[in-house]
Amino acid sequence: MTLADILLLAVLVLISISGFIFIKKAFPQGKDVKIEVNGKLAYKLPLNNNAIIAVKGINGDTVVEIKNRKVRIKESPCPNKICVHTGWIDRGAVICLPNRVTVF
């Protein structure tokens, strides 16, 4: 490894670490879960209470689960199930585009 390789590796590690810190600060963990259907707020629930909610979307029910201060879309009538495969989140959002359900 040359000196240039080592410097490049160090710069890439620093960029990765700073990106992680930025994401944590830009998207802090909230106290509530908000669920929108077709752009309108349908639910606002506390993140510290475990719950399973059936949310009526335009194509059927999307099941949202809150557990251990995390949230996920458990079931949805969409064809590809991308929202279901996203899994548990504690910040950011999960969107079921075909059913027009947003969880954040």
d(C-alpha 57, C-alpha 55), whole Å:
6
Question: What does the pLDDT look like over 13-63, one tens digit per residue?
Answer: 889 888 777 777 766 678 899 999 999 999 999 999 999 999 999 999 999
CATH 2.60.320.10 fits 32-103, yes or no: yes
Q: Which pLDDT value is given to residue 56?
A: 98
d(C-alpha 53, C-alpha 57), whole Å:
12
Question: Taking the domains of the chain in order of start, what are their residue ranges?
Answer: 1-29, 32-103
Dihedral sign (CA 86, 90, 91, 97):
positive
Dihedral sign (CA 89, 90, 92, 96):
positive
Is residue 49 within 8 A of residue 37, CB to CB? The reply is: no
Question: What does the pLDDT look like over 6-24, one tens digit per residue?
Answer: 999 999 988 988 877 777 7
Question: What does the pLDDT look like over 81-92, one tens digit per residue?
Answer: 999 999 999 988
Q: Which pLDDT value is given to residue 68?
A: 95
d(C-alpha 38, C-alpha 102), whole Å:
8
